[in-house]
Amino acid sequence: MKRIHTDGACRGNPGPGGWAWASDEGEYASGYDAHTTNQRMEVRAVIEALREYPEGPLTIVSDSSYVVKCFTDRWYEGWRRRGWRNSQGQPVANRDLWEQLFALTLDVGRAVTFTWVKGHSGDPMNDLVDRLATRAADEQRGQHSP
């Protein structure tokens, strides 16, 4: 199963942001948004990775509890059941991105596993996507592996 590491970064939160993904095989991409939040960039990184790899099972490795717990703890079930309201009755933040992500995973029955990794803990792939996302946020430009 292909493993893809993802990360998001933001300067100011909200502020200029960046997202990145990288595969264990050395492929990578990053991008940016001029005004966003860290959580939006975390979700966006996964969306972009899934768009790059539209078929087959994937493992997404992320340091974002927000992303990982949505799937491992099945937050999405409650959100949908409550009409896109969270457990406190408030509108789900970043619904537009979650809907895109669910369309690439849940709605098509795709086998995607989400795994959490501690950020800034010396994991080489997490460190790589962190650097790529931070650079994209700082420079407001993206990169793609050749």
Q: Which domains does the chain carry?
A: 2-144 (3.30.420.10)
User: How does pLDDT run along the chain (146 residues), one tens digit per residue?
Assistant: 899 999 999 999 899 999 999 999 999 999 999 999 999 999 999 999 999 999 999 999 999 999 999 999 999 999 999 999 999 999 999 999 999 999 999 999 999 999 999 998 999 999 999 999 999 999 999 999 97
Q: Environment class of residue 34 by beta-carbon count within 10 Å: exposed (0-12), middle (13-18) or buried (19+)? A: exposed
How open is the CA angle 79-115-10, to the nearest 5 degrees? 75
A 10 A CB-CB count for 89 gives 7
Whether residue 14 has a cis bond before it, omega within 30° of 0: yes
